Amino acid sequence: MRPTVHDIAAKAGVSLATVDRVLNGRPGVRAVTRARVEEAIERLGYVRDVAAANLAKGRVYPLVFIIPEGENPFMRGLEAEVRLAATRSSFERTRIAVVHVPPFDAPALAKAIDAAIAEGVAGIAAVAVDAPEVAAAIGRARAAGIAFVTLVSDLAASARDHFCGVDNLAAGRTAGSLMARFLGARPGAVAVLAGSMLVRDHRERLEGFRALMAEAGGGRQVLDVLEGQDEPERARALVGACLVAHPELAGIYSLGAGNAGLVAALEAAGRGDVCVIAHEITEPTRLGLERGVIDAVLNQDAGHEVRSAIRVLRAKADGLPVIAAQERIRIDIFIKENLPQPLDETGTARAAEA
Q: Could you list the residues that contact DNA (CB under 7 A)?
A: 1-2, 4-6, 13-21, 23-24, 27-30, 32-34, 46, 48-49, 52-53, 55-58
Cβ atoms within 10 Å, residue 288: 25
Q: Are 322 and 149 in contact (CB under 8 A)?
A: no
Options 6-14, 240-248, 286-294, 327-335: segment touching a second copy (CB under 8 A): 327-335
Rounded CA-CA distance 119/134 in Å is 18
Q: Kindly state whether residue 173 participates in binding a second copy, applying the rule CB under 8 A.
A: yes
Q: Kindly state whether residue 111 participates in binding a second copy, applying the rule CB under 8 A.
A: no
Closest CA to 140 of 164, 109, 99: 109
CA angle (72 as vertex; 137, 347 as ends), nearest 5: 100
Closest CA to 331 of 152, 166, 100: 166
* DSSP string computed for 92-125: GTEEEEEEEE-TT-HHHHHHHHHHHHHHT-SEEE
* DSSP string computed for 165-177: S--HHHHHHHHHH
Rounded CA-CA distance 228/226 in Å is 6
Entry field: residues in the chain: 354
Q: Kindly state whether residue 331 participates in binding a second copy, applying the rule CB under 8 A.
A: yes
Options 107-115, 128-136, 182-190, 199-207: segment touching a second copy (CB under 8 A): 182-190
Options 102-110, 143-151, 163-171, 234-242: segment touching a second copy (CB under 8 A): 163-171
Q: Which of 69, 114, 167, 207 binds a second copy (CB under 8 A)?
A: 167
Binding mask 116-155 for a second copy (x = CB under 8 A): ----------------------------------------
Cβ atoms within 10 Å, residue 82: 25
Rounded CA-CA distance 253/279 in Å is 9
Work out what residue 14 binds among a second copy, DNA, none; the CB cut-off runs from 5 to 8 Å by kind: DNA
Residue type (1 letter), 3: P
Binding mask 332-351 for a second copy (x = CB under 8 A): xxxxxxx-x--x---xxx-x
Q: Which of 54, 131, 139, 234 binds a second copy (CB under 8 A)?
A: 54
Q: Kindly state whether residue 244 participates in binding a second copy, applying the rule CB under 8 A.
A: no
Q: Kindly state whether residue 354 participates in binding a second copy, applying the rule CB under 8 A.
A: yes
- Relative to beta strand 123-126, strand 251-254 is unpaired
Tell me whether residue 55 or residue 144 sits nearer to DNA (CB atom): 55
Using CB under 8 A, list all residues that contact a second copy.
Answer: 2, 47, 49-52, 54-55, 84, 88, 90-91, 93, 162-163, 167, 170-171, 173-174, 176-178, 181-182, 184-186, 212, 295, 298, 303-304, 307, 323-328, 330-338, 340, 343, 347-349, 351-354
